[in-house]
Amino acid sequence: MFSKILIANRGEIACRIIKTARRMDIKSVAVYSEADAAALHVEIADERVFIGPPPSAQSYLIADRIIEACKKTGAEAVHPGYGFLSEKAPFCEALNAAGIAFIGPDVRAIGAMGDKIESKKLAKAAGVNTVPGYLGVIADDDEAVTIAREVGYPVMIKASAGGGGKGMRIARNDAQVREGYKSAKNEARSSFADDRVFIEKYIEEPRHIEIQVLADGYGNTVYLGERECSIQRRHQKVIEEAPSPFLDGKTRRAMGEQAVALAKAVNYKSAGTVEFIVDAQRNFYFLEMNTRLQVEHPVTEMITGVDLVELMIRVAAGEKLPFTQDDVKLRGWSLEARIYAEDPARNFLPSIGRVTRYRPPVESQFVRVDTGVYEGGEISMYYDPMIAKLITRGMDRETAIGHMREALDAFQIRGVGNNISFLAAVMKKERFLSGRLSTNFIADEFPEGFTGVELETEVNDRLIAVVAFVHDRIAERNRTLSGQLPGYQPPRQNFWMVRINRQNTPVFVDETDRGADVRVGGQVFSLVTSWVIGDLLWVGTVEGRKMVVQVDIRGDGYRLLHGGADVVCQVLTPRAAELAELMPVRVPPDRSKVLLSPMPGLLVHLAVKVGQEVKVGEELAVVEAMKMENILRAERDGVIAKTNVEAGSSLAVDQVILEFE
C-alpha cells in the first residue's frame, strides 16, 4: 500500500479523498493555486505544494507541476479526482514515465473512453446500444448543418473531450446549429484545449441513468447498480439518486452487463461510470464513459456500503476486488443535491465572494456533507461554483427525500447566493415525488425560471407562529434588560401583528414551559422547542410535526427560510402596524435602457456598435464566467446609444455594458 499520495485537485473532491486517505493511514499532499492558498483542502492535507496562478490552465492543468510536486514530497501515487487532469491520457503517461502510480485506469482506457467519438465506436463494437449520429470530426458550421439535417432535428452538438455540461448545445434548426456549433467549440477549447465537436440525435424526454463499474487488474469487473441523474440544468446534474425510480430488475441487469462488457473491452481497471440515455420505453443508449470518480459517487456508496475512493487506491496499489457481482446488494435509497454559489432568481447566475456564514446540517447515518468550503472562505471566479454536496439516505425513497428536505432547511449559508431554495422547491414537486423524471424536468416545471416558492396556507401560518414566538422571546428579554430608565419597565406585550407583503396577521403568544401556544387568526398552534435567543436555526415541532426554520434578524424585521420559501416579515405592535400602513412603497429604478452584466466575468465578445438597431432576441454580448459562455440578448427593440466596455474587459456584477437610446 502507498504511504503517501498527492491529490491533483481542489475543493470538495480533494477534501473527500484526503478523508479516506487519512482513514487508511496514508499521508496526503495537496496542491494549490494562488486563489486557493487558504482553501480547506490545503488546510487539512498533511503537506501542500504551490503550483501557480489562479487560472486552472496555469496551475491545476499543468502536468509537469503536479509531477514536480510528487517528486518534491515523495508522493508515490496521484489521485486526480474529477475534472482537470483526471481524464488526460498524456498525464497518465507522464506519471508512468516518472515512476508514479496513477489512481485510475490505464492510458489505453482513458484515451479510448475519454474521446466521445472513439468511445462510441468502441461501444458499438462491444455490443453496447448507441445513439444514432455522426461521429466524425466536423470541419465548419456549414458541414454541421448538413450533418444535422441528415441525422434529423433535434440534434445535440457535443464536445468530443467534453464533460460537466460544457461544450454542449441542443439545436432544433439550421440557425441554432450554426450558433451552437461555434459556442460549443469555443467552450470546448477554453475548458479542454480540444475544440472538436460531434453531432448525434437528441432523444426527447430522455432520462440520464448511469452505471457505476469497478474493476481490478486481475480481470474482475462488477457493476454497483445505477444512479438516476435526470434532473439537470444546462446539461449539468443538479440532483442525483440511487437506485433509479424508473428501472426494473431486468433493465438494470441489462445495462449493468453492457457497462461491464464495455469496461472489459478496454481492460478497464479502477472505478468508472458508463452513462446511458433511457427513453420512456426503457430503451437505453450509450452516452459516454467517464474514466474517473463521478461527482455523484456518494449515493452509490450510501446504498452499497462501498468506499469507492478506498477501492480505487487499493486497485492502483495492485490489490484484487474484495467481492464479486453476487456480493453486491443495494440497500435503501440515497439522494444527492449539489449546492452551488449561484442566484436561482437571476437565472442561476454565479455568485462569488466571501462565505460569511457556513453551518451545514449535522451529519449522521442519514445525512452526509461533502464540501471544500468553510466559514470565512471565498468562492472564486476561477473555478466551479460548488459549495457542497448534500447526501441523504433512507430505507426507501420517501424517507430519503424527507431527510433531504429537512437537511436543506437546516443548511445555513450567507455571504454568497446559493441554490438551496431551488433544490427545496424541486423536492416538493409532485412530479419529483412520484419519480416521473426526465432531463427536461427543470425546463418543464420552471418554464419561467425560478421565482420562489408559494407556501400553502397552513405552512405559512406555522411560519407566522414561529416568527411571532421568536420575536416575543426577544421582546421579553429586552423588556427586562438592566440599565433602563429608573421607575419604568415596559409592559408585557404578547399581542403582535406579523406583517408580510403589507398584509397584517394578528397573533397572540402564550409562552409555556416547553415553548408556546400561538394563536394565528382563529387557530392555535402548539410549539415545542429548545430554541434560545441567538440561534439562527429554529428547530422544534408545530402541532406535533417537526419544523426547521432559519431565522435571520434584518433591521426591524426577520428573514425566514423554510421549504424553499424566502419570507421577509416584520413583527409589530398593533399601533406600529397601523402606522406602517402609511409608509410609502419604494419603487425600483428604471433599468430598461441599459444592459447590465448579470455576473462577474470576462466580456468575450461585444456584438453591436453605437447607432446599430437591434431587435428582440438579438445577441448583444457574450460573458464568460465559471468556464461557461453566457449570451446576453436584447429584451426589446432599440438603438445602441453607447458602449461602456470593450471585449476582453473584466466585468463586475451589474456593471453597465451598453446603453440604449
Q: Which residues are catalytic?
A: 288
Residues 235 and 243: their CA atoms lie apart, in Å, by: 20
Phi-psi group of 222: left, alpha or beta (phi > 0 → left; psi -120 to 50 → alpha; rest → beta): beta
Angle separating helix axes 63-73 and 89-97, nearest 10 degrees: 30
Q: How far apart are CA 517 and CA 614, in angstroms?
A: 60
Q: What DSSP string runs through 325-380?
A: GGG----SEEEEEEEESEEGGGTTEE--EE-SEEEPPPP-SSEEEEES--TT-EE-
Distance, in Å, from the CA atom of 145 to the CA atom of 174, rounded to the nearest integer, reads: 6
CB 356 within 8 A of CB 261: no
Is residue 288 within 8 Å of 110, Cβ to Cβ? Answer: no
Query: Which residues make beta-bridge pairs with 527?
Result: 516, 542
Please report how many Cα atoms fall inside a 13 Å half-sphere around the Cα of residue 161, on the Cβ side: 21
Helix, strand counts (H, E) of the chain = 17, 39
Q: Please, is 447 exposed, middle or buried when counting C-beta atoms within 10 Å of its C-beta (0-12, 13-18, 19+)?
A: exposed
Please state, in angstroms and rounded to a whole number, the distance separating the CA atoms of residues 174 and 155.
10
Does residue 153 contact residue 175 with C-beta atoms inside 8 Å?
A: no
Judge residue 42's burial from the number of C-beta atoms within 10 Å of its C-beta, 0-12 exposed, 13-18 middle, 19 or more buried: buried
Strand pairing class (27-33; 4-7): parallel
Instruction: For residues 423 and 561, give the distance between their C-alpha atoms in angstroms, rounded to a whole number.
Output: 13
Residue 443, C-beta contacts closer than 8 angstroms, at least 6 positions apart: none
Long-range contacts formed by 536-540: CB under 8 A, 24+ apart: 536/357, 536/359, 536/412, 537/359, 537/410, 537/412, 538/466, 538/470, 539/410, 540/466, 540/515
Which of 592, 598, 580, 583 lies closest to 641 in space, CA to CA? 592
- What letter would DSSP give residue 313? H
Strand partners for 30 = 7, 48
Phi-psi region of 524 (alpha: psi -120 to 50; beta: other; left: phi over 0): beta
CA distance 56 to 52: 9
